[in-house]
């Protein structure tokens, strides 16, 4: 009587290699690309912010959530309460479907623009007879 061990081990080896091949082909590799954009916040609402940049003629809407982190220029963490319209920011975001989902916001100091100096000249003309 022949030994059944050899065909059994061969069958088991083939079955395991097929399972491994199916498992490897079933894995999905998701490549996440993080993009940055810098500009000034023109709107800041719950869950969204709209940023105007110098490079884009149209403002862009970004979505943020509870996992979004906020930092100042030095890298120190700040609260979301620091973020408001009119502040310059850099956002790190990922495109998810048709949404730009923000993972990190760097809040920069607003640059104070010195008011233009105005000069008023008053001319008085006196006529004598």
What is residue 66's predicted lDDT score, i.e. its pLDDT? 92
List phi, psi (to 5°) of 42: -100, -25
- 7 alpha carbon, distance to own chain's centre: 57
Question: Rounded distance, CA 21 to CA 115, Å?
Answer: 69
Q: Domain-by-domain residue ranges, the chain?
A: 35-107
CATH H-level, domain 35-107: superfamily: Copper binding periplasmic protein CusF (2.40.50.320)
Over the chain (129 residues), the average pLDDT of each successive run of 10 is 59 61 57 87 94 89 95 94 93 94 93 55 60
What global pTM score does this model have? 0.62
Instruction: State residue 62's pLDDT score.
Output: 96
């Amino acid at each position: 009587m022949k030994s059944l061990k050899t065909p059994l081990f061969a069958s088991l080896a083939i079955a395991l290699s097929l399972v491994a091949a199916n498992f490897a082909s079933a894995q999905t590799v998701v490549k996440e690309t993080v993009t940055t954009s810098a500009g000034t916040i023109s709107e800041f609402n719950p869950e969204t912010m709209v940023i105007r940049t110098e490079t884009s003629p149209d403002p862009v809407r970004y979505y943020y959530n509870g996992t979004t982190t906020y930092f100042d220029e030095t890298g120190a963490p700040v609260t979301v309460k620091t973020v408001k319209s009119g502040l310059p920011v850099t956002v790190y975001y990922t495109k998810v479907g048709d949404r730009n989902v923000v993972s990190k916001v760097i809040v920069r100091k607003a640059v104070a623009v010195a008011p233009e100096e105005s000069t008023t000249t008053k001319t008085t003309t006196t006529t004598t007879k």
